[in-house]
A and B are shown apart, each in its own frame.
Chain A
Amino acid sequence: MLALKNRVTNSILNSERKSLLRFLTLYILMSTVVILLLSIFYYQYQDKLNLANHRTQLSTYAHELIRRLKQTHHFFDQSQIYPRDNRFKSAIYDMEYINIFSLLDEKKVYFHKEIYRINSKIHFIKVLDNYYLGAKYLVIEVDDIDDWIDETLRNIILYGVIILLLLALFGLYLARLFLKPMRDYIMLLDTFIKDTTHELNTPLSAIMANIEMMDREVMVEKNIKKLHRINIAAKTVSNIYNDLTYLTLKREKTSQNIDIDIRDIIYNRVEYFDILASSKKIEFRVDLDSVIVYIDREKITRVVDNLISNAIKYNRRGGFIEIELREKYLSISDSGIGIEESKIPYIFDRYMRFNQSEGGFGIGLNIVKDILNEYHISIEVYSKINKGTKMVLRW
């Protein structure tokens, strides 16, 4: 029972994993953007904090220098030596931003800022109240010791990664929480199908066997027609039964691959479905080459069955089905109702049915895709509303 449950769970795991991945990708992407923004704010905050620490020191330097500039101004006729200091470099500019004298290494000065970093230097701009030597702006320059940058970046990376991991875990928990109803629903459906399939086996076999055994020669015309209709209905149910059996029981089985002539399989299945097709007056146009493929007989039969049965199911009355088999491809086209272009990407999704007027569980094409994926066979779908659908398998 546990093994069966696991198999069912595994079969829905792909779609769940896809949704989970999409949600997590989006969630982590958004979280990363938020963390990046926070990191930028943190970096800017650290930058400002560091500059604020420098501001006090540089302001002291500026006041010391202003005192010495005042002296130079008042005794300029005796000495024109600019006051220098080993701890910093400085420059003075007049009201019109003309350089009066400069000892700066970095000549570019932004007068509208009070303190800023430029090319590994820190500039502090002091606006003078008295224009000693004609100077309105005093610029103090010191080397920018950028130890804080390494520490800040280290903190950003470390805490960023930790927060991202925590958010990812939280996202995973959230995603599982949100996906649980969908998972429960799919599991319920799977369990239901499994149980139904099991119950269908005996009666269906009995019906099919008895139809085959009936002696048509002793029947009146009216009864032959009735038997014919019963046969069609039984084959439809049989096809659904086969899909369900594959889905619930055989999917996990190891493939028994052998060299198979696909042409034989197709002829066989066309013959099988002929009674179904003729009930809708659908004509088969078959053009097949002999093509040998190394594949599991049961699986390729499911593929062909589902494609032909869909072509019949969604065909118009009096339409046709063209089957073309060549060395590297198989194409099955019908003259049916077609599929909207926007819905084509979803036709292989499990339990996906676009036309509620026809029977079925919406599992046929999902099985087809599943098998084709196993054998790395591509499938292309071309469809036009009210014109028909063409499925091309390439290997």
Chain B
Amino acid sequence: MVKKIFISIFIISTLYSQNIYEKSCVECHKSLPASLERMFMNYLLVYSGEKNVKVGLFHYIRYPHKDTSVMSKLFIDTIGLKKAIPRYKLSDKELKKAINIYWEKYKVIGKIK
């Protein structure tokens, strides 16, 4: 019984220690063949600047469409188009926060040598 309680506490604390990006993005993307970093580079290739990338990403998450996707046609045909994340599941504020974390994690400025 005590063991179960400890395990439960551990799982709950682990979940709460994850940030919004990890909770909302990484969890689902883990199972996809393309990494989040690869997708980030695709966003860079299409949108270039920070503000543009963030706006493009935000729009796509809310209104995913094959024409606005940065992934290849093959990828879309194989994996399918992602579902839109509604606001009640992830508010605009939370989404922007997650996108900011995503940008900071994979941005190339300051990493190129």
Contact = CB atoms under 8 A, between A and B. Distances in A.
Is A bound to B?
Answer: yes
Interface of A: 73-74, 76-77, 80-82, 94-96, 98-101, 130-136
A95 B45 contact: no
A80 B49 contact: no
B112 A131 contact: no
A76 B108 contact: yes
Nearest to A133: B108
Interface residues of B, number: 19
Contacts of A82: 112-113
B52 A100 contact: no
B48 to A, nearest CB: 4
B41 A73 contact: yes
26 contacts: A73-B41, A73-B44, A76-B37, A76-B108, A80-B111, A80-B113, A81-B113, A94-B48, A94-B49, A95-B47, A95-B48, A95-B52, A96-B48, A96-B49, A96-B52, A98-B49, A100-B109, A101-B109, A130-B45, A131-B44, A131-B46, A132-B45, A133-B44, A134-B44, A134-B45, A134-B53
B46 A133 contact: no
Contacts, number: 60
Interface in B2-36: 35
Contact of A136 (B41, B48, B51): B48
A99 B50 CA distance: 12
A99 B48 CA distance: 12
Contacts of B46: 131
Contact of B45 (A73, A80, A101): A73
A131 B48 contact: yes
B112 A80 contact: yes
B103 to A, nearest CB: 11
Contacts of B111: 80
B93 to A, nearest CB: 23
Main secondary structure of the interface of A (DSSP, over half): loop
Nearest to B52: A95
A134 B112 contact: no
B49 A136 contact: yes
A126 to B, nearest CB: 14
A132 B35 CA distance: 18
Given A96-B51, A136-B48, 18 more contacts: A73-B41, A73-B44, A76-B37, A76-B41, A82-B113, A94-B48, A94-B50, A96-B49, A96-B52, A98-B49, A98-B50, A99-B109, A100-B112, A101-B112, A131-B44, A133-B44, A133-B112, A136-B49
A100 B45 CA distance: 13
Contacts of A135: 48
A100 B44 CA distance: 12
Given A77-B37, A134-B44, A96 B112 contact: no
Nearest to B112: A101
- Central interface residue in B46, B48, B52, B111, by most chain A CB within 10 Å: B48
A95 B54 CA distance: 13
A96 B50 contact: yes
Contacts of A133: 44, 108, 112
B113 A134 contact: no
Nearest to B111: A80
A81 B49 CA distance: 20
Contacts of A76: 37, 41, 108
A101 B37 CA distance: 19
A98 B45 contact: no
Contacts of A77: 35, 37-38
Contact of B48 (A74, A80, A134): A134
Contacts of B45: 73, 130-132, 134
Interface string B39-81: 0010011111111110000000000000000000000000000
Q: Which 10 A/B pairs are nearest by Cβ-Cβ distance?
A: A95-B48, A96-B49, A134-B44, A95-B49, A131-B48, A94-B49, A101-B112, A136-B48, A94-B48, A82-B112
A94 B113 CA distance: 17
A82 B109 CA distance: 12
A226 to B, nearest CB: 113
B61 to A, nearest CB: 19
A94 B111 CA distance: 15
Given A73-B41, A95-B52, A131 B109 contact: no
Interface string B99-113: 000000000110111
A80 B37 CA distance: 13
Given A82-B112, A82-B113, A131 B50 contact: no
